[in-house]
Amino acid sequence: MDELGIGLIGTGFMGRAHALAFHNASAVFELPLKLRLVALADADTHRAESCARAWGFEQAYGDWQQLIDDPRVGLVAITTPNHLHFPMAMAALAAGKAVYCEKPLAVDLDQATRMRDAARQAGVITRVGYNYQHNPTIDLARELIRSGELGEIVGFQGEFSEDFMADPASPWSWRCEAQHAGGALADLGSHLLAMARHLIGDITAVCADTRTVHPQRPASAGSRETRPIAVDDQVHALLRFANGARGTFSSSWLKHGYKNHLSFEISGTRGTLAFDQERLNELRLCRVGQSGFQRLLAGPDQPRYAAFSPAAGHQLGYNELKTLEVQALIEALAGQGQTGTDFEEAWQVERLATAIRQAAREQRWVDVSEF
């Protein structure tokens, strides 16, 4: 196979991000496969046709099943609301096609388990859109941790907060429905849980608390009718890692002033490492004996950065991380690498989120192995 036919489902923000990433990956990297943008699907046929023309796809469909059935499509990219991930991915896997699905993998652990099992049976490449892990700066953080630069890892403090739901007058959306989404934990926190596992490893036990701060929201913008909210606005948890480290975790979509505050501090016996996605091109590092932190700035000494810029300080952004995610996906499809979160690892994240919800409901420590 020297050409890969791509089918994209969804035309929202994430659909556009995927389309850009497919174009950019072909332009920036010498990919092992030629990408052919075959089909785009959306429930709104007119929008599907408009976006297909604008984004360079050959065919538009108003029915996502038609896209999966298209024999030219070898990779199905899913960028729809969370509750649609399951039926779309399962149909694609049944058709023997590779799947690139946005996070979180599913709306509950049962769905995630069935998706993981179907992927195993199909024997195809799967990836889930935890794109923040593809940051060259995160590569450096992982290298520092694994090389022993920080000594024995003893602590993790992580937070992912934004403020897009901070206004109680913000209207109800699919994100507010438990059967369609999963609250701040699923929408934001899943990224942080995936990052913690990526950098430090397995989390074995959790204790947690969740809260719905605004139990009702307007049914639509400006409406006097309200709808009940059944998902968490904020979540806090204590974490125990398999390597003995202890950690804290928090996520909120109500925190004024934060736009993409995926942040962590990782402490070891020989130093501390800090990162904030709002400053995604730098790390802060303090080694034993230093009086404070030094700034490590991303630059061309990191190959995945160098692909975009020959000079430090010129910065990568969100869409570059998505492009790097697509590069890793295409290399995996060509048998040239295994970088990225597959359905197996995404299932581990869903299992961990399930344990956090259980711990919050029962107000106790929960072993992740219970699930």
Of the candidates 131, 153, 179, which is a domain's last residue?
131
pLDDT at 1: 65
Number of helices (H), then strands (E), belonging to the chain: the values are: 11, 17
**Does residue 56 sit in the same domain as residue 87?**
yes
The model's pTM is 0.96
Residue 330 belongs to some domain of the structure = no
**Does residue 101 sit in the same domain as residue 202?**
no
pLDDT at 99: 98
Residue 328 belongs to some domain of the structure = no
Where residue 73 sits, what CATH number does that domain have? 3.40.50.720
**Does residue 155 sit in the same domain as residue 293?**
yes
pLDDT at 184 over 80: yes
Q: What is the distance between the alpha carbons of residues 341 and 129, in angstroms, rounded to a whole number?
A: 7
pLDDT at 182 over 90: no
**Does residue 209 sit in the same domain as residue 98?**
no
What is the band of 233 on the pLDDT scale with cuts at 50, 70, 90? very high
- Tens-digit pLDDT profile for residues 64-83: 999 999 999 999 999 999 99
**Does residue 221 sit in the same domain as residue 238?**
yes
Contact 95, 68 (CB under 8 A): yes
Q: What is the distance between the alpha carbons of residues 18 and 340, in angstroms, rounded to a whole number?
A: 15
pLDDT at 156 over 90: yes
Q: What is the distance between the alpha carbons of residues 113 and 105, in angstroms, rounded to a whole number?
A: 10
pLDDT at 42 over 70: yes
Of the candidates 79, 108, 131, which is a domain's last residue?
131
**Does residue 226 sit in the same domain as residue 148?**
yes
**Does residue 116 sit in the same domain as residue 177?**
no
Peptide bond into 87 cis (omega under 30): no
Domain of residue 10: give its range.
Answer: 3-131
Q: What is the distance between the alpha carbons of residues 30 and 296, in angstroms, rounded to a whole number?
A: 28
What is the band of 194 on the pLDDT scale with cuts at 50, 70, 90? very high
Total of domains in the chain: 2
Q: What is the distance between the alpha carbons of residues 332 and 343, in angstroms, rounded to a whole number?
A: 14
**Does residue 29 sit in the same domain as residue 139?**
no
Contact 244, 156 (CB under 8 A): no
Q: Which stretch of DSSP H or E encloses residue 323?
A: helix 318-333
Residue 329 belongs to some domain of the structure = no
